[in-house]
Structures are given as C-alpha cells and as structure tokens.
Chain A
Amino acid sequence: MDETDRLLLCLLEENSRLSHEELGVMAELSPDKVKRRVAALEEEKIIRSYTTVIDWDRAANGGVAAIIELKVNPERDHGYDRIAERLSNFREVRSLRLVTGVYDFELTVTGRTMQEVARFVSEYIAPMDRIRETATHIIMKTYKENGQAFFEKEAGERIPYSP
C-alpha cells in the first residue's frame, strides 16, 4: 500500500465503474499498471466488492430497514465469533458489527414490511441461545449512507466569471 494505492481506492470507492484507462489518467499511471495494482488490492481483499449506493426510500419499494441492538453472552473459546457467523448467514441481516457500550452486536436488518422485520427478530434472533436482549429501531429516514448525503441542495450562487 502506497499513496497511489490509496488514491486508487478513494477513486474507486466513489465510483467503482471507472475503467483502468480512466483511472490511469487520473492517477498518472499506465492502464496496465492500474490493472496490476487493482488486481493486487483485490487479491489482498482490501477491495471486497464493487457495489452501488441506492437510496431505497427514493426507489419507493416499500421496504423497511431496522437497526437491532443485541446483548449476547459470549462463548468460552470462541467469544462472539461463532454466534456472529450464525447471525450473518441470514439474508435479512445486511450488516453486523461488534461494538463497545451497553450492547454487543449492532445489526441492520431489512424486510418488506415492519411486521416482517418484527417477526424475523422475534422468531429467529431473539430465541437464539446466548441472545440475552434485543432492541429494534425501525429506520425512519436515511440522510447519509456510505459517505453520500441524500439531501437535495440548491446549488449556491456562483458567478460565471471571476478573474
């Protein structure tokens, strides 16, 4: 990892559709060198996937997302890892993190309706061994996701010419 790798990562994080040629011009590299560097970053699993940030509210698909806090009893020898792996196997679980503070896991869960999310939590998550407590927070509105703010902003007044 050097400065150039970091630049490539920043550019790709912002727009993963950039071609090797475009990246090359931007980062002052030949397309071949870009290809080799990107392949190495993929190999090292620094680049995990190429994805798209979608404002699902705007897509109006009627889906619901919730943040779930879980208090968990860790296992001897395995700590939180095995239970985390079990949880992450559910398609409904979009993200899963171990955090400091009053609870242990923070999950993002999606479903078609609020009932569906609630049922998923009460039928699958809450009854699992070692889960002590759950708290479900339905997401009402997303303002910013993955560094992208979803605000409609009036462009500021900018004059067309200045010396």
Chain B
Amino acid sequence: MRDFISARARGIPPSGIRKFFDLAVSMEGVISLGVGEPDFATPWNLCEAGIYSIEQGGTSYTSNRGIQKLREMLAVWLRQHYQISYDPENEMIITTGVSEGLDIAVRAVTDPGDEVIIAEPSYVSYSPCVTLAGGVPVPVQCRERDWFRLNPDDLMEAVTAKTKAVIINFPNNPTGAVMKREHLLPVADIVSDHDLLLISDEVYSELTYTGNHVSPASLDGMWERTITLNGFSKAYAMTGWRIGYLCAPKEICDAALKIHQYVMLCAPVMGQVTALEALRRGEDEKDRMVQEFRVRRNLFVEGLNRIGLSCHMPEGAFYAFPSVEKTGLTDHEFAEQLLRNEKVAVVPGSVLGKGGEGHCRCAYASSRKDLAEALLRMERFISKNCS
C-alpha cells in the first residue's frame, strides 16, 4: 500500500509532551502544573446564559462572522479597554478559539517560501501553523536578561528580504513576560520600516498584573499592519467553549473569512452566547479570578526562589518559568524525574521553542493548596537530587 501521509504533515513535529502525558495519566496523585488553562470553572452566571439559550432552541449555525450583537459589544469593549477600533461588520471574525484565529490569519497572509518570524519561547502552535501554510518559521529568542521580552536588535537580525510577518504573544505563554508601550515601540518601528505584518496573540491580555495591557494595533501606524488575535478562554475561564476572535483591516479580514467559512463555518453558538454574557456581566468574576492569579503568582514565585529555582517575577499570564540550571539536569530530565519521583507535572522549556532550554513552565492556575504541596515536593526533589 502507498504511504498516504503528506510530506507537509510529516514535516511538522509531534507534540514534545506526549511522552509525559502518557506517563502522567498512568500515575495516581499527580499535581499538574502542566495545563495552560484556569482551574476555575466558567463563572456560573455565564453558564446560565449558555444553558438558557440552549433551552430556547439556540442550537443552530450563526453567521460566518459570528453573532452580530457579540461583534458589536466586542468592538465597544476593545475601544474602551485597549483603544483599538474595529468595524464589527468588516474587520472582525469570531473564531473557534484563538487556535483557529491563528491558523486562518497565518494562512490568509502566507505564500510558499514566506518567512514568518516567531518570538520564542512560545505556545507550540505558531511554528507548525506557518509550516502547514507553506511558510518558513524563523524563531527569534526572547532572552531571560531582557525579562523574556522581544529584543529589537534580535528581531532586526532575523529580518530578511523574504520576511512577511512577525508573530508575538504578550503577555507570554510560557514566560509571563509583558511588553509595555516602551518595549513595543522599537518593535513596531522595525515592522513598519520593513513593511511587515504583525500577528499579535493577546489571549492573556486581561491577565496583566502591572499596568495596563498595550495592544500593538493601538500604536501609531500599526493598525494597518496588525492582526489582533484574542479570546475568552483565559480571562473568563472559558477554554472549553472555544471562542476567540480575529480583528484586522478589511482586506486581510476578508481573506481570513474565506478560509474560516470553508473550514469552520462558524464558532459554536453556545460559546458565542456565553461570550456575549461575559462581556455584559462577566467583569466582576473576571476581576476576582485575576486577583486570585496574582496572589498565587506572588506565593508561587516566592516559593520557587526560596527552594532555589531562580525565577523572575512574571508580569502577566499564569505561568512561572524558573531556571532548573542549578539542579545540573536538563529541562527534560528535570521534568521527567520530578514527575516520576515526586509526581509533579511541569512542561520542559525546550518543548516551547528557542530559549526555553534550562527552564520549565509551571502553570500556577491551580489551587493555593496544590501549589503549596507542589513546592514541598519540588523542594524535596531538589534536596535529594542536587547538592
């Protein structure tokens, strides 16, 4: 029989955490700091809105772009919170999570051979999405000495005549790094000067603990060359509802919409209704969760540094990204042995791209009790294995 697998599918790497996944599910009593989602259930008032709409028969397709009212509310929300204006009729698509938004954004703008720069370490999907679109992913390392922000000099070095776009994600998964206005401005200059497009994944924007989130599209001259991706998963604890959104100038949005209508048709209607409720009446619950994440961050990062895993204070998202160098182990060895010996699941940093080596990602989206227990186990692991 022929080998049916395409070269393109063959070309993307398998998930780097598969082996850990299989190991962890075979064990009892694992504390997982490996999951990139809030441990909270969706606030109940939002669920009620979703349930009610199902009872009322709201189980059909929506328009390709998404429910009109949701887009209208979102346009107002984005203007008020991030000072970015998008026309809900022409410049916005409700997507099935940011995952889909990323995919259609990349596919809408990438031609074979186009280079797309990716600020790493990062979420694992960017590079494969570029590859699947026929582009060439070009990683640029965000360094610890820069607090894991994208250094304009490093970006500059990666730009070639073939560069088409730059993908960034701040607040960042896995480092928790935040780019403030003064950090974004030089990056924006490079993007403009070289006539590039910026794809900005801002799904952690509401989880910014110091100052306000700055959306790159709000910077002078950047709106025209930015695709803003965001969603409801992290801020409103709505990961399973699968609702994100893509905002971009009309021409780009139209191109992405074509792909969206062929491969997805529309985002799930229950999720869209629930997202609308989140915009209307979700702020208080969201603020409460963000406050709790901040308290946990303070506790957990203080704990990591106390037990000898040096960790900068992340300014956003819900990840700590400590160095495991002191243990003498690689990040893979550390993650595997910590799981086997002490049943704490963390993600080895090298899985998350360039610059992740020697670190591990710990999501502090777990109860304070579990975080305290995880710290105890990690401390015991370090004292047994490293002297």
Chain B residues with CB under 8 A of A46: none
Residue from B173, B295, B351 whose CB has the most chain A CB atoms within 10 Å: B295
Asked if B302 and A161 sit within 8 Å, CB to CB, the answer is no
Asked if A27 and B295 sit within 8 Å, CB to CB, the answer is yes
* B291 within 8 Å of A (CB atoms): yes
Chain B residues with CB under 8 A of A160: 20-21, 24-25, 30, 32, 34-35, 345
Residue on A nearest B352 in the bound complex, by CB: A163
Chain B residues with CB under 8 A of A139: none
**In the assembled complex, how far is the CB of residue B119 from the closest CB belonging to chain A, in whole angstroms?**
16
Chain A residues with CB under 8 A of B21: 159-161
**In the assembled complex, how far is the CB of residue A99 from the closest CB belonging to chain B, in whole angstroms?**
25
* A39 within 8 Å of B (CB atoms): no
Asked if A28 and B32 sit within 8 Å, CB to CB, the answer is no
| Distance A25 CA – B347 CA, assembled complex (angstroms) | 25
Asked if B123 and A163 sit within 8 Å, CB to CB, the answer is yes
| Distance A11 CA – B292 CA, assembled complex (angstroms) | 9
Chain A residues with CB under 8 A of B36: 162-163
Asked if A158 and B35 sit within 8 Å, CB to CB, the answer is yes
Chain A residues with CB under 8 A of B37: 162
Residue on B nearest A23 in the bound complex, by CB: B295
**In the assembled complex, how far is the CB of residue B33 from the closest CB belonging to chain A, in whole angstroms?**
10
Asked if A26 and B299 sit within 8 Å, CB to CB, the answer is yes
| Distance A160 CA – B37 CA, assembled complex (angstroms) | 11
* B80 within 8 Å of A (CB atoms): no
* A101 within 8 Å of B (CB atoms): no
* B15 within 8 Å of A (CB atoms): yes
Asked if A11 and B295 sit within 8 Å, CB to CB, the answer is yes
| Distance A163 CA – B347 CA, assembled complex (angstroms) | 8
Asked if A161 and B298 sit within 8 Å, CB to CB, the answer is no
Chain A residues with CB under 8 A of B15: 163
* B124 within 8 Å of A (CB atoms): yes
| Distance A162 CA – B125 CA, assembled complex (angstroms) | 12
**In the assembled complex, how far is the CB of residue A60 from the closest CB belonging to chain B, in whole angstroms?**
25
* B17 within 8 Å of A (CB atoms): yes
B287-310: CB near A (< 8 Å → 1, else 0) gives: 000010001001100100000000
* B41 within 8 Å of A (CB atoms): yes
The tally of residues in A whose CB lies under 8 Å from a CB in B reads: 15
The B60-89 residues at the A interface (CB cut-off 8 A) are: none
**In the assembled complex, how far is the CB of residue A31 from the closest CB belonging to chain B, in whole angstroms?**
13
Asked if A158 and B32 sit within 8 Å, CB to CB, the answer is yes
| Distance A15 CA – B41 CA, assembled complex (angstroms) | 21
| Distance A110 CA – B38 CA, assembled complex (angstroms) | 40
A99-124: CB near B (< 8 Å → 1, else 0) gives: 00000000000000000000000000
| Distance A159 CA – B298 CA, assembled complex (angstroms) | 25
**In the assembled complex, how far is the CB of residue A144 from the closest CB belonging to chain B, in whole angstroms?**
12
| Distance A22 CA – B35 CA, assembled complex (angstroms) | 26
* A7 within 8 Å of B (CB atoms): yes
Residue from A158, A162, A163 whose CB has the most chain B CB atoms within 10 Å: A163
Residue on B nearest A159 in the bound complex, by CB: B35
Asked if B125 and A25 sit within 8 Å, CB to CB, the answer is no
The A142-157 residues at the B interface (CB cut-off 8 A) are: 156
| Distance A26 CA – B292 CA, assembled complex (angstroms) | 9
Chain B residues with CB under 8 A of A26: 295, 298-299
Residue on A nearest B346 in the bound complex, by CB: A161
B155-173: CB near A (< 8 Å → 1, else 0) gives: 0000000000000000001
Chain A residues with CB under 8 A of B298: 25-28
Residue on A nearest B301 in the bound complex, by CB: A25
| Distance A162 CA – B21 CA, assembled complex (angstroms) | 9
Chain A residues with CB under 8 A of B299: 22, 25-26
Chain B residues with CB under 8 A of A25: 298-299, 302
Chain B residues with CB under 8 A of A28: 298
Asked if A161 and B347 sit within 8 Å, CB to CB, the answer is yes
The A1-33 residues at the B interface (CB cut-off 8 A) are: 7, 10-11, 22, 25-28
| Distance A156 CA – B32 CA, assembled complex (angstroms) | 14
Q: A163: which of B17, B24, B30, B295 is its contact (CB, 8 Å)?
A: B17
Known: A25-B298, A156-B41. A161 touches B345 (CB 8 A): yes
Q: Which residues of A contact B (CB under 8 A)?
A: 7, 10-11, 22, 25-28, 156, 158-163
Name 18 extra pairs, CB < 8 A, besides A156-B41, A163-B17, A163-B347: A10-B291, A11-B295, A25-B298, A25-B302, A27-B295, A28-B298, A158-B39, A159-B35, A160-B32, A160-B34, A161-B17, A161-B21, A161-B345, A161-B347, A163-B15, A163-B36, A163-B124, A163-B173
25 pairs, A vs B, C-beta closer than 8 Å: A10-B291, A22-B299, A25-B298, A25-B299, A26-B295, A26-B299, A28-B298, A158-B32, A158-B39, A159-B35, A160-B20, A160-B24, A160-B25, A160-B30, A160-B32, A160-B34, A160-B35, A160-B345, A161-B17, A161-B35, A162-B34, A162-B36, A163-B15, A163-B17, A163-B125
